[in-house]
Amino acid sequence: MSARPGPFDPSPEGRDTHLVLENAEGRLSMWPAWRTVPSGWAARSGPAPHEACVRRVEAGRG
């Protein structure tokens, strides 16, 4: 049960690791910057550190 960082976790160094995606329904998704963006989704912001992406989602800005 090791808690190593997964694709949706913050990286320890606070690098620009994530995107915020949005689909046609306006739903938001965190997304690792290294993985192809799935179809039907578009990057609304990022790459940015995980924490910054979380704050954007909280603020409803994506």
Partner 1 sequence: MTAPPVTETVLPLTAAQSGMWYAQALDPLSPAQNTAEYLEIDGPLDPALFAEALRRVAAEADALRVVRVEDTPDGPRQYVAHPDAAEVPLTVREPDTVAEAEAWMRADLAAPCDLAAGPLFRHALFRVGEDRWLWYQRIHHLVIDGFGHSLLVRRTAEVYAALARGERPGPRTFGRLADLVADDAAYRSSQAFAADREHWTRAFADRPQAPRLAGRGALPSHTFRRRTAHLSPETTQGLRDLAARLRATWPDVLIAAQALYTSRVTAQPDVVLGLPMMGRMGSVALRVPGMVMNVLPLRLAVTPEATFAELVRQVVLGIREVRRHQRYRYEDIRRDLGLLGESRGLVGPLVNVMPFDYAVDFAGAPARAHNLSAGPVDDLTVNIYDRADGRGLRIDHDGNPALYEDEDLAAHQERFLHLLDRLAGTDPRLPLAAHPVATPAERELVLEEFNRTERAVPPTTLVGPIEAQAARTPDAPALVYRDTTLTYAELTARANRLAWHLRSLGARPGAVVAVSVPRSVELVVALLAVVKAGAAYLPLDPDYPAQRLAYMLGDAAPVCAVTDRADRLPDGTGTPLVVLDGLDLSDRPWTDPARALTPAHPAYVIYTSGSTGRPKGVVVPHRAIDNRLRWMQHAYGLTAGDRVLQKTPSSFDVSVWEFFWPLREGATLVVAEPGGHKDPVYLARLIREQSVTTCHFVPSMLQMFLAGPDAADCAAPLRRVFASGEALPRETAQAFARALPGVELHNLYGPTEAAVDVTYHACDPADPGPVPIGRPVWNTRLYVLDAALQPCPPGVPGELYLAGVQLADGYLGRAELTATRFVADPFGPAGARMYRTGDLARWTARGEVEYLGRTDHQVKLRGQRIELGEIEAALAAREGVDGACALVREDRPGEQLLVGYVTGDADPAAVRAAVARELPEHMVPAAVVALDAFPLSPNGKLDRRELPAPVFAGSGDGARQPSGPVEEALTRLFAEVLGVGRTGPDDAFFDLGGTSLLAVRLVGRIRAELGAELTIGTLFEASTPAGLAARLDATGRAAEDALDVVLPLRTAGGRPPLFAIHPAGGIAWCYGGLSARLGPDQPLYGIQARGLNSDEPLPRALAEQAAEYVRHIRAVRPHGPYRLLGWSVGGVLAQIVAVLLQDAGEEVDLLAMLDSFPAEQWRERPAPEEGDALTAVLRMAGFERTHERTREDVMATLSRAGSPLAGLTDRTLSRIVDIVPNHARMMREHHHRVYDGDLLFFTAAAPRAQHWLHHGAWRAHVTGPIVNHDLDCVHSQLLLDRQLDEIAAVLTARLKELGA
Residues that bind partner 1 (CB under 8 A): 1, 3-4, 6-8, 17, 20-21, 23-25, 27-41, 54-55, 57-58, 60
Q: Least distance from C-beta 56 to partner 1, angstroms? A: 9
Q: Least distance from C-beta 37 to partner 1, angstroms? A: 7
**What is the spatial distance between Cα 13 and Cα 37, in angstroms, rounded to a whole number?**
23
Dihedral sign for Cα atoms in the order 53, 57, 60, 62: positive
**What is the spatial distance between Cα 17 and Cα 10, in angstroms, rounded to a whole number?**
8
Nearer to partner 1, 7 or 14 (CB): 7
